[in-house]
């Protein structure tokens, strides 16, 4: 049977064979077109940004934290007491203690101290050291002084440490390890990481650490270790 042209057109318009493929092609083409348009719009911006980052990084020297102040940094002391007293004096003895290595043990009631000359132009100084409270100190205190000014006091008992500082004192102390036996005798120990930051430090810096322990050193003691002093 022959169909009229109008009937063929009507049949063609009503026929849904292949319609999904046609839809897929149209949608895919739209997606690809949109992607190409997006790339051309965005890529210019990324090129600009990456060029800016590259030129900014290329002109920048490698720096450490001290250079944030705009000054050079000087390391004035860096000692773990394995090579001697390194300028420390007072009532202390370098002792090799199991679990702690070489540390500067402070006599009961005694004070150890060091004085450092600061480079001309130094605007800040930073002191870091470990304060060891070993064994049965039973609440004994260790006082920290900088240039004759008390900046903090640590009380140690059974491997726990409480640190107090005058309001505004530029000092922080964190318990780096404690609550268990770290070395020396079998009783629990505490190690405080002490950091002091001093603005306008002047010509010299004297760091003093006093042991308020009144027990024999075999029972418990304060000691210091890993002293780093830097200026900038
Ligand atoms: Ca111990």
Q: Residue 104: give its domain's CATH number.
A: 2.60.120.200
For the chain, give the number of residues. Answer: 232
- Closest among 227, 80, 217, 231 to 144, alpha carbons compared: 227
CB under 8 Å to 107, separation ≥6 — which residues?
Answer: 91, 92, 93, 211, 217
Residue 64: both structure tokens together: 């450490």
CA 165 – ligand 1 centroid, Å:
26
- For residues 161 and 224, state if they share a domain: yes
- Given this model, what pLDDT does residue 98 score? 94
d(CA 186, CA 192): 19
Number of domains within the chain? 2
- For residues 96 and 140, state if they share a domain: yes
Considering only residues 7 and 110, tell me which one the structure prediction assigns the higher pLDDT. Answer: 110
Residue 9: both structure tokens together: 């057109």
- For residues 103 and 208, state if they share a domain: yes
Going by the DSSP 8-state scheme, the letter that residue 3 receives in this structure is P
- For residues 106 and 19, state if they share a domain: no
- Given this model, what pLDDT does residue 62 score? 54
- For residues 99 and 184, state if they share a domain: yes
CA 129 – ligand 1 centroid, Å:
19
- For residues 38 and 121, state if they share a domain: no
H or E segment to which residue 213 belongs: none
Count other Cβ atoms within 10 Å, centred on residue 66.
Answer: 17
CB under 8 Å to 1, separation ≥6 — which residues?
Answer: none
Judge whether residue 203 has pLDDT over 50: yes
What average pLDDT does this structure show over 150-158? 94
Map residue 166 onto helix, strand or coil. Answer: coil
- For residues 106 and 197, state if they share a domain: yes
- For residues 89 and 180, state if they share a domain: yes
What average pLDDT does this structure show over 121-142? 93
Residue 211: both structure tokens together: 């042991």
- Given this model, what pLDDT does residue 72 score? 58
What average pLDDT does this structure show over 141-169? 93
Per-residue pLDDT tens digits for 13-66:
888 888 888 888 999 999 999 999 988 888 888 888 888 888 777 765 554 554
- For residues 53 and 168, state if they share a domain: no
What average pLDDT does this structure show over 1-13? 82
CA 189 – ligand 1 centroid, Å:
5
In this prediction the pTM is 0.68
- Given this model, what pLDDT does residue 1 score? 60
Judge whether residue 192 has pLDDT over 60: yes
- For residues 36 and 70, state if they share a domain: no
Domain with 93, as residue range(s), is 66-231
List % helix, strand, coil for the chain (3-state, nearest 5): 25, 45, 35
- For residues 116 and 218, state if they share a domain: yes
Residue 95 phi/psi, 5° resolution?
-135, 135
Judge whether residue 67 has pLDDT over 50: no
Per-residue pLDDT tens digits for 73-115:
899 999 999 999 999 999 999 999 999 999 999 999 999 999 9
Mean pLDDT for all residues in the chain = 89
CA 193 – ligand 1 centroid, Å:
17
d(CA 150, CA 158): 24
- Given this model, what pLDDT does residue 15 score? 84
Judge whether residue 190 has pLDDT over 90: yes
- For residues 124 and 24, state if they share a domain: no
Paired residues of 56 in beta bridges = none
CA 30 – ligand 1 centroid, Å:
74
CA 96 – ligand 1 centroid, Å:
14
Residue pair 127/229 in contact (Cβ under 8 Å)? The answer is yes
Considering only residues 67 and 40, tell me which one the structure prediction assigns the higher pLDDT. Answer: 40
């Amino acid at each position: 049977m022959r169909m009229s042209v109008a009937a063929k057109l009507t049949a063609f318009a009503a026929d849904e064979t292949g319609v999904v493929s046609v839809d897929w092609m149209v949608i895919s083409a739209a997606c690809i077109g949109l992607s190409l348009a997006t790339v051309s719009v965005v890529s210019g911006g990324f090129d600009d940004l990456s060029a800016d980052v590259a030129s900014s990084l290329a002109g920048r020297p490698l720096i450490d934290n001290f250079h944030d102040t705009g000054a050079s940094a000087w390391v004035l002391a860096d000692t773990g007491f394995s090579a001697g007293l390194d300028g420390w004096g007072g009532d202390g003895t370098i002792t090799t203690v199991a679990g702690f290595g070489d540390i500067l043990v402070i006599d009961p009631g005694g004070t150890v101290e060091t004085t450092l000359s600061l480079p001309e132009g130094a605007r800040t100084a930073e002191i870091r050291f470990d304060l060891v409270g070993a064994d049965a100190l039973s609440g004994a205190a260790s006082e920290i002084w900088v240039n004759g000014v008390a900046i903090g006091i640590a009380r140690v008992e059974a491997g726990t440490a409480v640190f107090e500082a005058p309001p505004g004192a530029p000092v922080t102390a964190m318990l780096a390890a404690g609550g268990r036996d770290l070395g020396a005798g079998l009783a629990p120990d505490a190690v405080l990481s002490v950091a002091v930051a001093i603005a306008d430090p002047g010509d010299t810096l004297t760091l003093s650490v006093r042991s308020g322990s009144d027990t024999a050193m075999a029972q418990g003691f304060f000691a210091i270790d890993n002293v780093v002093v830097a200026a900038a």
